[in-house]
Structure 1
Amino acid sequence: MQVFNSVPFIDEGAEAALDPRTFPYLFNDHGLAQPSAYVRGKLISLTPENPDLLLGARYSGITWWDREVPTSTGSYRIKQFDFRAKEVRYEPIWATKETAQAFGMTLLANGECLRFEYEQLILGQYTYGKWAGHQSPYLGPERMRELLTYNPTDLEYHNFPHAFFSRYGRLPLVISVARWRPAAREIYLADLWLRPGDALVLPPKHYPDIPPSDAGGLENWPVVVDMHGNRNSALACWFGGEDCLLTETVLANSTLMRSPAGRPHYHEEKTATRHEMPVGYRL
């Protein structure tokens, strides 16, 4: 019998709790996260927020509503988008200080560090398969590992910091990002291609609850909502001939992740997406 190559999804490797009181700094050592008791390399600060920056593929006239996703023990609520498009394109953009800022992030380059005094975080190793984006966690428990024929949009934000380190030596790490402008009913989408050795740091994101798009009260909605998704981390493998990509990530521990204050806010759009290589990319 002839068979296809294996289809790796996500592998969770070693993880360790961060101790911000002993190690209040986070240093980027060639794509490896190094907690530190003192300043190493060049000290930088988190990039200031700038809601006026707009990059990526723009979709206007979008709508959204709340949807309950079933689980084995109950359900949870997500936002369901409709971008009103036959195909959703994510603009490929190299991650720089400026492009990261357009999505509420900070680029932490190799040899840079920043003060990182957040509690209840872990540093974990994750290996993403190139098919990881062709799965939806919102189809219910019976279809959790179904390989889809398309790559849907899966975005989130949360009130804890998140950091993605591009530790693989040859291929970039790709983080899908969005800047949603609810009052304008538009969204900007991009894939940030993170060069090997660089990292992206997201500060905690907290927004008031946004009602469905047919509700009133626009004046109470946030100007922008910055979101991200890392299911396409191994996107470069599609062009580089490999099956998976090893990454390093700082995120909430299980206690914070399950708490009302720290739980992620999920957003889905079911239309098939298109992802491309950025200008100047060479294998």
Structure 2
Amino acid sequence: MSLVKETYFNAPLFDRELAEITVDIEQTPFFLNDHGHPKYLASLGAGIHLITESATNAKVMMGNAYEVPSEISTKYTKWGEQTELEFEGQYFEFMPLVATKETAAAFGITLVQTGEAIQIHSNQKVLSEIHYEYGMMAGHCFAYLDGGKPDCSGKTLFPFVATDLEHHDFPHIFSSTDQDQLPLVISVGRYFPNLGKIYLADLWVNPGDVLYIPAKPKYSNPEFIDLHNNRNAALACWRGDSNKSTLTTHSLLDTHGHFYWYWNRKPTIHPLIYAATSKNE
């Protein structure tokens, strides 16, 4: 009897928690981008520029627009609400945008650059900052078709990246702190439920820059909903300009928070930006 020979690739990293610290917002309400390093301060000293959250409104629209004919279903879990959206089309492209003050604000996000600080507002006073390492295949996790668990505990490697975006009641801070200076990529969307339309983009965060996302609770009949996800954080690894297959980053979040997910099961396209720049090209 002959034996079937099977050969496998080495298992790619999904993500890894390298370190975690507790951040008490009552004691240290200010976030400082200290030359690309995240710091939490009780007060601000001389020379630190305190900025406010970027203003945004419904007339600011960036990204590729797609029709959303319906919300197919909403599933309620212990982690939060999962709403499947119907998209009109067969595949969907996230517009690549360098993260600037303007492009971030178009999705309700504030860009915090070196030497700048921002006050953190949160009903949950104890948050966690986690030093993560993400693999370049992490975006190929598809939680909703793999047991319905947002942590992708099924660990099936799907052949495409699907739309998977969220908002939640606590603030998020995404710091582009890769040890080898790869840009961090955050996927974003602005969804207009009453208009049946969504705008999709990838924000490429230059090394040393930071995105601050304020708490975004659920509202009744909102004009628009700003959404984000960092599962494609290591997208820059696909450029092939290094032998890296992972990216490191720091994230502030509530590990026990309540989430609102919006997803679609069809494939997406994520074009690459090949050079760090302050302007969109």
TM-score range, shorter chain: 0.7 to 0.9
Residue 252 of structure 2 is matched in structure 1 by 250
**Is 1:51 aligned to 2:62, yes or no?**
no
**Is 1:183 aligned to 2:187, yes or no?**
no
User: Identity of counterpart residues, as a percentage?
Assistant: 35
Evaluate the alpha carbon distance shift between residue 253 and residue 265 of structure 1 in structure 2; reply closer, same or farther with a 3 A threshold.
Answer: same
Structure 1 residues 1-283: aligned runs within 5 Å: 3-40=8-45, 41-68=48-75, 77-118=81-122, 119-141=125-147, 144-168=154-178, 169-208=180-219, 221-239=221-239, 240=241, 241-254=243-256, 257=257, 263-278=258-273, 280-281=275-276
- 8 A Cα contact 1:11 1:127, kept in partner: yes
Question: 3-state DSSP class of the match of 1:133?
Answer: helix
Deviations 1:201-240 (A, max 9, x none): 000112335xxxxxxxxxxx21110000111000001114
Question: 3-state DSSP class of the match of 2:238?
Answer: helix
Q: How far apart are 1:25 and its partner, in Å?
A: 1.1
Q: How far apart are 1:61 and its partner, in Å?
A: 4.5
Deviations 1:122-161 (A, max 9, x none): 1111111000010111124497200000111111000110
Evaluate the alpha carbon distance shift between residue 101 and residue 270 of structure 1 in structure 2; reply closer, same or farther with a 3 A threshold.
Answer: same
Evaluate the alpha carbon distance shift between residue 123 and residue 134 of structure 1 in structure 2; reply closer, same or farther with a 3 A threshold.
Answer: same
Partners of 1:274 and 1:66 lie apart in 2 by 24
Evaluate the alpha carbon distance shift between residue 238 and residue 192 of structure 1 in structure 2; reply closer, same or farther with a 3 A threshold.
Answer: same
What amino acid is aligned across from residue 21 of structure 1 in structure 2? E
- 8 A Cα contact 1:174 1:191, kept in partner: yes
Q: How far apart are 1:85 and its partner, in Å?
A: 1.4
Evaluate the alpha carbon distance shift between residue 61 and residue 25 of structure 1 in structure 2; reply closer, same or farther with a 3 A threshold.
Answer: closer
What amino acid is aligned across from residue 236 of structure 2 in structure 1? A
Partners of 1:86 and 1:201 lie apart in 2 by 32
**RMSD, aligned α-carbons:** 2.2
Partners of 1:27 and 1:57 lie apart in 2 by 32
Partners of 2:193 and 2:80 lie apart in 1 by 22
- 8 A Cα contact 1:21 1:117, kept in partner: no
Partners of 2:70 and 2:272 lie apart in 1 by 28
- 8 A Cα contact 2:80 2:261, kept in partner: no
Q: How far apart are 1:21 and its partner, in Å?
A: 2.7
Deviations 1:141-184 (A, max 9, x none): 49720000011111100011001000014210000000001111
Partners of 2:34 and 2:160 lie apart in 1 by 36
Residue 3 of structure 2 is matched in structure 1 by none
Residue 218 of structure 1 is matched in structure 2 by none
Deviations 1:93-137 (A, max 9, x none): 000000000000000111211122531211111111000010111
Q: How far apart are 1:39 and its partner, in Å?
A: 1.5
